[in-house]
Amino acid sequence: MIKLTGVEKKYGRKSILNGITFEADKGQITCLIGINGAGKTTILQAIMGLTPYQKGEITIDGEKLSPAVMEKVTYIPDAMTLLPKMRIKDAFQFMSDFYQNWNGKRAKEILEFFKLQEDERISQLSKGNTAKVNLLMGLAMDADYILMDEPFSGIDIFSREQIADVFSSHLVEDRGVIITTHEISDIEHLIDKAVLLADGVVRKEFMTEQVREEESKSVIDVMREVYKG
Amino acid sequence: MKLFGKLVNFEFMRFLPIYITLLVIVFLIEAASVIFYAFMVKSEITESIVKHGLSKEQFLQDNGYASMVNILSSFIFSLPVVIAAVTIFIYILFIWYRDWLGKNTFIYRLLMLPVKRIQLFFSKGATILMLVFGLVAFQVAILPVLQVILKLVIPVDYRLDLTTQGMIRSLYYLRFLLPENFIDFIINYGFGIAFVILLFTMILIERSYRFRGVFMAVFYGIGALILVFSPYILQVIMKDYFFDNELLWMQFAIAIILSIISVFLSNHLLNKKIRV
Amino acid sequence: MAIHFDKREAVYIQVIRYFKEQIAIGELKSGQEIPSRRELAQQLKINPNTVQRAYKEMEEEGLIYTDGNKPSIVTEEKKRIKEIRESLITEAIDQFVDRITSLQIPKEQVFELVQSKLNEPGREGEEKHD
């Protein structure tokens, strides 16, 4: 379980996170929803220790961030973080050099699924393919948790469909997934839990099937209540 | 430890294209200056002996033997060394900033590697050290090659050949980088390493606190320099109480203490303060 | 296999209803293998945990049966299948009667309207199942 308790972050005088508390379980897809600037990306970065926070605590299966946790959690940012002159296969080599949990067989499998070539250079990839390679680098790790930042932003409809398919596939089976988005409609039925954010606080945390079953509300109905009500 | 080796290798390979270019440039400039010198001396010999009918002994009395010493101590030979030093210095900064700058921010990948983050610090430092050692080794290795050029142009009677050892002694920078005394070696590289650690720490302060960090880093850097040179202030106050080498050892001790503090500070910044 | 999901109703309930309908109209036959949880999640583009829950409920209701690691199959109990059909019909009629009652339409008129609706061309095919 990834657990955030009262995480606060200020940048200068500006508050970015004002006491974020939520949990993301293994075996579930947790979706952080909020408009841009709500602090979604910052939360994922804070989990990975890529940005400092002043108060609160983040634990992964009860542990604080450590080198071992980096094998356990993999973060897929919404920007390319591989070197431009690398070929996809060089990136694979880099990952297999450093991570015990890198699953080369699965990397090849996903490469095929996305119809990418391992000789392609990172700098030559289209926007859609960049998103796919990013996803691939994360999914090919035998990690317990995957954090994905806006996997659907700014890419074409077919890439979106392919990426959405990943969520119901064996690729995320039994893993804990945290995904951020400002656009829920593509994945409304794919997520287990929704965490609604605004201005650096969690406005509501709920299981999607539960609000459908007990309150006959769609995820968007709940969002409307929270953000407009 | 295995991962540390891979990190160093990775960092080294990233700089390799520029590094090889640098080595080639160093060699070309040095070779060109040797060739220029050799032909200049040759034409002097020709002029004196053939045109003016001077004897060999007279010529040597006026001009001395043609030797690598003359080139190694000339201004033109400083140029490649300065180019190399500036390149390495820029790379001490760039080795960090390149991971943040540009469209693809590689620092994400580095910070998420399953290694202690201070290892990134040490791997980059080790890479710089390797680059320096590599340059020194390259310089030493090409000295005999350069002398061969001289041998091909100037007849043996007009030449004074040097051993590699002799050439190293003649090149001021190499005398500094490859001192014959082991203690000097330790002190020279100790100060060098301390300097790199200080710069790295200043970079990490800036990368952690960004705009505010620029001032903090400058403050830290100036503070460190003042501390390192504080023995001289003490010397003035104490009216030349210490011997020169006592002052040096004091400076050395301060540099080591500052380096240790810097490494701990960097470790803290990398773990708690760094931002992508 | 495709379901048009109502976004305001629990997905697992909709999956169960879909299976009941398929069993009732004979599209899924007694003893027939059904897709694995993962396959169904992929086909319907829904969360595998939701499918898992639907399958668990269906198993408890005796709609499907799983023997060890083999794929789940539709129940072989004829009686259960008949019950499913009947419960679906009852459910549909209940809903219909509820609505009609609230509209306060005379019985005769209801029968007449139902009759003519069912006799509309193009209804024949569907009628066979019911």
Q: How far is A123 from chain B (nearest CA, A)?
A: 9
> CA of C57 to nearest chain A CA: how many angstroms apart?
14
Residue B204, CA distances (Å) to A103, B121, B266 in order = 33, 10, 7
Domain count, chain B: 2
Mean pLDDT for B71-93 is: 91
Q: Which residue has the higher pLDDT, C104 or B16?
A: B16
Rounded CA-CA distance B189/B64 in Å is 36
Q: Is C6 a member of any domain? A: no
Give the sign of the dihedral formed by CA C80, CA C85, CA C91, CA C94: negative
Angle between helices B78-97 and B118-153 in degrees, nearest 10: 160
SS3 A31: strand
Q: What is the mean pLDDT of residues B115-131?
A: 97
What span, in angstroms and rounded, lies between the C-alpha atoms of B25 and B198?
Answer: 29
The beta-carbon neighbor of C13 closest among A29, A173, A213 is A213
Residue A52 in contact with partner chain B when CB distance is under 8 A: yes
Alpha-carbon span A205 to A221, nearest angstrom: 14
Q: Nearest 5°: CA angle at C125, between C123 and C130?
A: 85
Expressed as residue numbers, the domain containing B231 is 180-276
Express as a percent the part of chain B with pLDDT over 90.
70
The reported pLDDT for the residue numbered C128 is 46
Across the A:C interface, residue pairs with CB atoms under 8 Å apart total 55
Confidence of residue B188 (pLDDT cuts 50, 70, 90): very high
Three-class SS state of B21: helix
CA A201 to chain centroid: 18
Parallel, antiparallel, or unpaired for β A193-198 and A29-33? parallel
Which pLDDT score, from 0 to 100, does residue B57 have? 85
The separation between the first and the last C-alpha atoms of chain A, rounded to the nearest angstrom, is 31
> Is A70 in Cβ contact with B112 (below 8 Å)?
yes
| One domain, residues C90 and C68 | no
Residue A187 C-alpha, separation from nearest chain B C-alpha, in angstroms: 27
Q: Report yes or no: A7 and A53 within 8 Å, Cβ to Cβ.
A: yes
Say if residue B10's pLDDT is above 50. Answer: yes
Residues B152 and B201 in one domain: no
B220/B237: higher pLDDT: B220
B8 shares a domain with B134: yes
How many angstroms separate the CA atoms of A142 and B111, rounded? Answer: 19
Distance from CA of B173 to the nearest CA of A (A): 36
Is there a single domain that holds both residue C55 and residue C93? no
According to DSSP, residue B157 is labeled: G
CB–CB of A189 and C10 under 8 A?
Answer: no
Only one residue has tokens 């320096």, namely: B132
Q: Does some domain include residue C3?
A: no
How far, in Å, CA of A136 to CA of A115, rounded?
Answer: 12
Of A51, A70, A97, the CB nearest to B276: A51
Residues of A in Cβ contact (< 8 Å) with B6: 97-98
Residue C125, domain extent: 79-129
User: Is C4 among the domain residues?
Assistant: no
Q: What is the pLDDT at residue A136?
A: 92
**Given pLDDT bands bounded at 50, 70 and 90, which one contains residue C124?**
low
Pairwise pLDDT comparison (B46 vs A145), residue with the higher score:
A145
Instruction: Name the pLDDT band for C127 (thresholds 50, 70, 90).
Output: very low
Is C105 part of a structural domain of the chain? yes
CA atoms in the 13 A half-sphere facing the CB of B34 = 24
CB atoms under 10 Å from CB of A61, counted, come to 14
For B89, the token pair is: 């210095």
Is residue C130 predicted with pLDDT exceeding 50?
no
Task: Provide the pLDDT for residue A62.
Answer: 95
Examine the domain organization and report whether B10 and B41 are in the same domain: yes
Boundary residue ending a domain (B159, B178, B197): B178
All domains of chain A in start order, with CATH: 2-228 (3.40.50.300)
Cross-chain Cβ contact C12/A209 below 8 Å? yes
Q: CB-based contacts of B85: which residues, under 8 Å, 6+ apart? A: none
Is residue C2 scored above 80 in pLDDT?
no
- Residue B16 sits in the same domain as residue B139: yes
Task: Give the distance from residue A167's alpha carbon to the nearest chain C alpha carbon, in angstroms.
Answer: 7
Q: ∠ CA(C57), CA(C58), CA(C63), 5° rounding?
A: 155
Assess whether C106 and C123 both reside in one domain. yes
Question: Would you state the pLDDT for residue C123?
Answer: 64
What residues in A contact C45, CB-CB < 8 Å? 164-165, 168, 189-190
The candidate with the shortest Cα–Cα distance to B63, out of B46, B82, B76, is: B46
Q: Quick one: which of B169, B174, B166 has its CA closest to B26?
A: B174
What is residue C129's predicted lDDT score, i.e. its pLDDT? 47
Chain A CB contacts of C7 under 8 Å are 188, 212, 218-220
In this structure, the answer to whether residues C108 and C83 fall within a common structural domain is: yes
On whether both C67 and C112 belong to a single domain, the answer is: no
**A77/B contact by beta carbon, under 8 A:** yes
Number of domains in chain C: 2
pLDDT of res. C77? 86
C40 and C62 fall within a common domain: yes
Rounded CA separation A190/C5 (Å): 12
**pLDDT tens-digit profile of C9-63?**
999 999 999 999 888 888 888 889 999 988 999 999 999 999 999 999 999 998 9
Same domain, yes or no: B163 and B65: yes
Domain-embedded: residue C2: no
If you average pLDDT over every residue of chain C, what do you get?
Answer: 86
State whether C46 and A190 contact (CB < 8 Å): yes
Domain match, B137 and B85 both: yes
Q: What is the pLDDT of residues A131-154, one digit of tens each?
A: 899 999 999 999 999 999 998 887
Long-range Cβ contacts of A113-120 (<8 Å, 24+ apart): A113/A162, A114/A162, A116/A88, A117/A88, A118/A87, A118/A88, A118/A89, A118/A92, A119/A87, A119/A88, A119/A89, A120/A87, A120/A88
User: For chain A, which residues score pLDDT lower than 50?
Assistant: none
With beta carbons less than 8 A apart as the criterion, state whether A157 and A126 touch.
no
Partners of A94 on chain B (C-beta within 8 Å) are 10, 109
